[in-house]
Structure 1
Amino acid sequence: MSKGVRSARIHPEQRWRWMRATTILVILSCFVSSQGVRGQDLGTWQLLLENAGIASMHTALTHFGTLVMIDRTDIGASQINLPPGVCRDSDDLVLKHDCTAHSVLYDPGTNTVRPLFLQTDPWCSSGQFMPDGTLMQTGGDFDGVRKIRTFVPCDPTGTCDWVESTTTELQSGRWYSTNQLLPDGRQIIFGGRSAFNLEFIPPNANGPLYFPFLNATNDDQNDNLYPYVHLLPSGNLFVFANRDSIEYNYLTDTVVRAFPQIPGEPRNYPSAGSSVMLPLLGSNNFSVVEILVCGGAQYGAYLNSAAQMPCSSTCGRMVVSDPTPTWDMTDVMPFPRCMGDMILLPTRDVMIINGAQQGSQGWTNAINPAFSPVLYYTYASPGYRMLPMAPTTIARMYHSTANLMQDGRIFIAGSNPHQFYVFNSDYPTELRVESFSPPYLSASNDLERPTITVAPQQITYNVPFTVTLSVPVALTTTVELNLVSAPYSTHSYQQGQRLVSLAVAAPIQVALASVYQVTATAPRGPTLAPPGYYMLFAVNRAIPSKAIWILVSS
């Protein structure tokens, strides 16, 4: 077995999870029909809104549990109006005077949306949350290409809205770029179309820094857009573009090392695979760091979109913490997928959702939607990690998003493979919003589902803290406490997504029956978990609680 798969063995405490997976596989064989897989044990779909007013190409979950949804401004009128008397006057390419909204705030508690005001075009922009919970949103097209926008979240009953800076702008135009929150609270922004450089917010005095890696990974399709960027526990950055990846020290502006090229197809926009850094585990002192990249499109699928070439079905997994890492390519998805989103679940597994089976990103460049999500069991043996889930009936292809919610569901929005809003098409502009409930939310698991009853609102690096849980039946294993960030979802990549599984002590039962106290140690420092708000999930035998929001800081 290669070093690239050494950590893929089933952990002893996770072995029962694989037994559950094999049981579900048996169930799966009984539920296959011409319509796909059905059944609660394979997850369930719920239509939340018939019309959210916009097709969200960017979505982010705030620490109030609301979701910020964003579309382009130069797309013409949306289907939700701004408040009376509020309109946008600009040099917009479609509507100079526009009284409709192109961003909304979705409240899961009331299942409603509230219009938000955007002045400049955030088309194919980037973003991430700042340590205080403010959403920083950068770049776009036309009048938005150098814009810095902020959204300070508020209680769902509040009136918070977008603010566009009139004093600070990006040092380089950013269209299809990637943001990453750094340990010191700054954001670093990589690339974009014709932008072979990086910059910081707040900005450096010496302007954008040339980043040769983005030039070296460019091709005729520009397959280095929306590069995958993951903050490593060392403090360096893993940067992946096209098929290549490096470890980069942003403090010294040096490439620490280059990793082997991933076999197969291009993996970034417009070829559109997806990537996650797999959970960082306190059980091994966070010493094993693995990157997973799945899907993509054949080279030429974007340049020759009429051919509708099959997407990739391969995944690459690499232990970047190894001295000589290699890509393990033994994981093969049940069906090809490009434009898929990869979501870290509170159980430390991964959900691959949305996308198409043929084509690439771009307007009308794909067909054959990938209706069925795939559950990727992180700790199962190679070749046994993929399980198809129940399918949706809504195509979610170009410009769709996916976000983990506080209750463990996955929020799904968007899909617009057209330049404007088009509803009389085989793959129309999608204004519907839905959620997918993974199998762990099945009511059959409720007897073992923990509830967090007492927890601190804030934890300090490397300092122990205690959480009180209630569980209907007695605990038989150690409970996991997992911190999950709230990323910025766009173009098949969740910018800033990470999961830190904390080192925990055995639960202590208190005076009341089925009430336990669990002590954990906060992340050791900001390179492991950058400062900010995280969802804290308690997980008992792969069954998660509803999360509570917790601020991680020094």
Structure 2
Amino acid sequence: MSQRMRLMWIPNQQWRWMRTAATLVLICWIIPQVAPAQDLGTWELLLENAGIACMHAALTRFGTVVMIDRTDIGASQIGLPAGVCRDSDDLVLKHDCTAHSVVFDPVTKTVRPLFLQTDPWCSSGQFMPDGSLMQTGGDFDGVRKIRTFVPCEASGICDWVESTTQELQSGRWYSTNQLLPDGRQIIIGGRSAFNLEFIPPNANGPLYFPFLNATNDDQNDNLYPYVHLLPSGNLFVFANRDSIEYNYLTDTVVRTFPRIPGEPRNYPSGGSSVMLPLLASNNFSIVEILVCGGAQYGAYLNSAAQMTCSNTCGRMVVSDPNPTWAMDDIMPIPRCMGDMILLPTRDVMIINGAQQGSQGWTNAINPAFSPVLYYTYASPGYRMLTMAPTTIARMYHSTANLMQDGRIFIAGSNPHQFYVFDVDYPTELRLEAFSPHYLAPSHDLQRPTVTVSPLQITYNTPFTVTVSAPVTLAGPPEINLVSAPFSTHSYQQGQRVVSLAVSSSVQIALATLYQITAVAPWGPTLAPPGYYMLFAVNEAVPSTAVWVLLST
């Protein structure tokens, strides 16, 4: 290289270095102010062996989680108390001294066995206004059973009680429960059950429900129908690809909605659905339904093909005069058997599931390890964010429940008829918790704490919420009520978020302490009576919830 070339080369290299350094300085200055690194959540193993595979789960007002599996599988891996056994006509084990339901305490990370006599396989349930869990149907000797669990403190001895004087009017297997404004439960559908009924029962017996007959196909894609109580008091009912607005008081179909494009969405195709949060800011006048995932038609009938699951989401404003499905959102990965969890921030977490196949024994492969965060109020096409993955497959018969500290409790996955452990996708007895992005330490300065007075609130009546935070709040926090649903088969029965009106916010003596006046929901069609988690949310960061009882 000549001296002249060296002289040219050195300044050019210096210029390139200087330009690169300047670019890096500019990027480092911009990124913290415009786009801080997105926290993608973290996973925690809560318990190595819960003793049972969790087919159904529900969070109680004491913060414990009731977990249920079927009984006709032989022995579980957790024993009943000494001297307690179950005698039945089960095909596998007629004298069984193991438990098929447990209650998990997240504080001590321990489980306590519960006693179930009849089989709750693929049953349904929901909490009653007094906080008791009503659990209905199942298979074999459980198909008409009504079971009740009255929760107690973690140190208590509460257990299942199965009614010996009342039973369902029709056998229920793969049905859906919804708490009604008057405190009754409506139970819709089930395998070969094209009808509905109420608890307490009505005098006319089960009512024929033609919609379920019309949505049936060779795969029975109308099982576990999605049922959402609308603020009008009517029910939104979705099965297969169709949906209606139903007035259960007059037994009439008020409206028929357009068919959702794409694949079947209900069991066994394994999509999921939520009614998006109801907002005081629009006087609860905008009601939107979100349905995501599912399986190609034929995936269940031809399980060996392991067809790719759906990656589409449909969103419809059912309160519009002429509603249509908007199919603008594509999930980052295809998913069936995913659970959709309404978060206290009013966004949605899509978690669990598989990328190929359908629900049913050994019908799916390729687990969907990564949750997806769905930003409810972002623009179409920008609503999805892939979160940190787990290492545990959560496919058929897995559950997900929002906890009062904002984590998501994850349990179950049993793609087999019995407990099987030496296969690619074994029966899963481990319990996990997923901490969403808002629980990251980087949000600790925004995280509020909340107390409520009184703990029992009355419809359409103001009440006081005291909120504190480590630093001065930018403005009044959101006050959101979140129900505790019954989680099973990729659908959270009774899931609901109601964002309340805040009529005043007063900063008191301490600079970071606020007294907020919120107004309870105006009526039971907006939020049925019962226990709710109350979250204060500051700049998209929620508090730990306080349980409140909403009543007349």
TM category, shorter: over 0.9
Aligned positions of 1:254-269 closer than 5 A: 254-269=252-267
Structure with the bigger RCO (C-alpha within 8 Å, sep 6+) is 1
8 Å contact kept, 1:399–1:414: yes
Cα drift, residue 112 of structure 1: 0.4
1:106 pairs with 2:96 = no
Task: For residue 394 of structure 1, report the CA deviation from its aligned partner.
Answer: 0.1
Structure 1, unaligned runs of 5 or more? 1-18, 29-40
Take 1:107 and 1:23, find their aligned partners in 2: how far apart are those partners? 38
> What are the within-5 Å matches in structure 2 for residues 507-526 of structure 1?
507-526=505-524
Alignment of 1:169-208 (within 5 A): 169-208=167-206
The equivalent residue for 2:484 is 486
CA contact (8 A) 1:375 1:386 kept: yes
Question: Counterpart of 1:7?
Answer: none
- Alignment partner, residue 287 of structure 2: 289
Contact (CA 8 Å) 2:451, 2:546: kept in 1 or not? no
Report the AA paired with residue 23 of structure 1.
Answer: A
Aligned to 2:134: 136
Q: How does 1:339-350 map to 2 (within 5 A)?
A: 339-350=337-348
Q: Find the counterpart in structure 1 of residue 154 from structure 2.
A: 156
Following superposition, the deviation at residue 513 of structure 1 comes to: 2.3
Q: What CA distance in whole angstroms lies between the structure 2 residues aligned with 1:429 and 1:312?
A: 25
Amino acid at match of 2:361: W
For 1:403 and 1:523, how far apart are their aligned partners in 2? 23
CA distance in 1, matches of 2:155, 2:268: 39
Equivalent pair of 1:189/1:200 in contact (CA under 8 Å) = yes
- Given the alignment, which residue of 442, 450, 456 partners 1:452? 450
- Tell me whether 455-464 or 489-498 shows the greater mean CA deviation: 455-464
- The answer as to 2:224 corresponding to 1:226 is yes
- Structure 1 residue 265: deviation in Å? 0.1
Give me the whole-angstrom Cα distance separating, in 2, the residues matched to 1:484 and 1:180. Answer: 15
1:467-482 alignment, distance < 5 Å: 467-482=465-480
Mapped partners of 1:305, 1:204: distance in 2: 40
**Aligned-partner Cα distance in 2 for 1:244–1:68:** 32
| Aligned residue type for 1:184 | D
Equivalent residue number for residue 434 of structure 1: 432
Distance in 1 of aligned mates of 2:237 and 2:526: 17
For residue 268 of structure 2, what is the aligned residue in structure 1? Answer: 270
**Counterpart in 2 of 1:247?**
245
1:237 aligns with 2:235: yes
Letter paired with 2:62:
F
Q: How far apart, CA to CA, are the structure 1 residues paired with 2:535 and 2:423? A: 41
CA shift in 2, pair 1:145/1:373, >3 Å: same
CA-based RMSD of the aligned residues comes to 1.2
Q: Distance in 2 between matches of 1:539 and 1:23?
A: 21
Aligned to 1:410: 408
Q: Is the 8 A contact 2:343 2:402 kept in 1?
A: yes
Letter in 2 for 1:471: A
Q: Which amino acid aligns with 1:118?
A: L
Q: What is the identity, as a one-letter code, of the residue corresponding to 1:526?
A: P
Q: Does the Cα contact within 8 Å between 1:485 and 1:534 map onto a contact in 2?
A: yes
| Correspondence for 2:464 | 466
Q: Which residue of 2 aligns with 1:396?
A: 394
Give yes or no for contact 1:479–1:506 (8 Å, CA) kept in 2.
no
Instruction: Give the Å deviation of 1:445.
Output: 0.6
- Contact kept? 1:486, 1:535, Cα under 8 Å: yes
**In structure 2, how many angstroms separate the alpha carbons of the residues matched to 1:333 and 1:378?**
14
Which position in structure 1 is the counterpart of 2:85?
A: 87
- Seen in structure 2, the aligned counterparts of structure 1 residues 454 and 131 have a Cα distance that, compared at 3 Å, is closer
Amino acid across the alignment from 2:170: S
Q: Secondary structure at the match of 1:505?
A: strand
Residues 120, 139 of structure 2: 8 Å contact kept: yes
What do the CA deviations read for 1:435-487 (whole angstroms, capped 9, x no partner)?
00000001111111100134321000000011011111001122100000000
Per the alignment, do residues 22 and 408 of structure 1 end up closer, same or farther by CA in structure 2, a change over 3 Å counting?
farther
Distance 1:325 1:503 in 2: 27
- SS at the partner of 2:537? strand
Question: Where does residue 369 of structure 2 map in the other structure?
Answer: 371
What secondary structure does 1:504 align onto? strand
- Deviations along 1:191-234, one digit per CA (max 9) or x if unpaired, are 00000000000001110000000000000000000000000000
Residues in 1 aligned to 2:443 and 2:56: alpha-carbon distance in whole angstroms? 33
Structure with larger Rg: 2
Partners in 2 of 1:416 and 1:20 — Cα distance?
44
Deviation at 1:488, TM superposition (A): 0.1
Q: Which residue of 2 aligns with 1:23?
A: 35
Distance in 1 (alpha carbons) for counterparts of 2:56 and 2:370: 22
Amino acid at match of 1:433: L
Give the C-alpha shift of residue 378 in structure 1.
0.2
* 1:21 Cα deviation after fit: 13
Q: Distance in 1 between matches of 2:395 and 2:176?
A: 20
The secondary structure found in structure 2 opposite 1:224 is: coil
Q: In the alignment, what sits opposite 2:11?
A: none
Distance 1:551 1:209 in 2: 32
The question of whether the paired residues in 2 share the 8 Å contact of 1:277 and 1:289 is answered with yes
SS of equivalent residue, structure 1 residue 329: strand
Q: Secondary structure at the match of 1:63?
A: coil
Verify the 8 A CA contact 1:403 1:412 in the aligned structure 2: yes
**Structure 2: gaps spanning 5 or more residues:** 1-30
From 309, 312, 326, the counterpart of 1:311: 309
What is the CA–CA distance in structure 2 between the aligned matches of 1:404 and 1:543, rounded to whole Å?
15
Aligned residues: 522
Deviant stretches of 4+, over 6 Å? 19-22
Q: TM-score, normalised by structure 2?
A: 0.94
